[in-house]
Amino acid sequence: MTTDIERELRELFREKAGEAPAATFNAPTAAPQEVLRRGRRRQLGTVLGSAAIVLVLIVGSVAGLNAVLRGEEDPFRTGGTMTSSSALPRSRRSRSRAPPTGTW
């Protein structure tokens, strides 16, 4: 049974291969130059875009790590230093005086 299927598939593939047009001297074997140029342009755009994204990610990561590692400095350079609310005197800690409104 398996040999029958294999034989039929071989015959089918031979028929299909015989129906395919043969390459001649007049038929172009490569894509037109404009198609090749457009493909190269798109490849270059993809590579440059990817490189720009990687560069932005690296710069952002380095800046973020610097801000985290130097936690006492203000990451936005507003002139102040970062302090946690527990380091502030009790009178300066933010407290909500109004009861919450609405329901969840």
Higher pLDDT, 93 or 68: 68
Contact in structure between 81 and 71 (CB atoms under 8 Å): no
Rounded to the nearest integer, the mean pLDDT of the chain is: 78
- Considering Cα of 16, then 18, then 24, then 26, what sign does the dihedral take? negative
Say how far apart CA 38 and CA 73 lie, in whole Å.
50
7-11, 36-40, 67-71: segment of lowest average pLDDT: 67-71
Domains of the chain, residue spans: 32-71
| Per-residue tokens: 16 | 């299909």
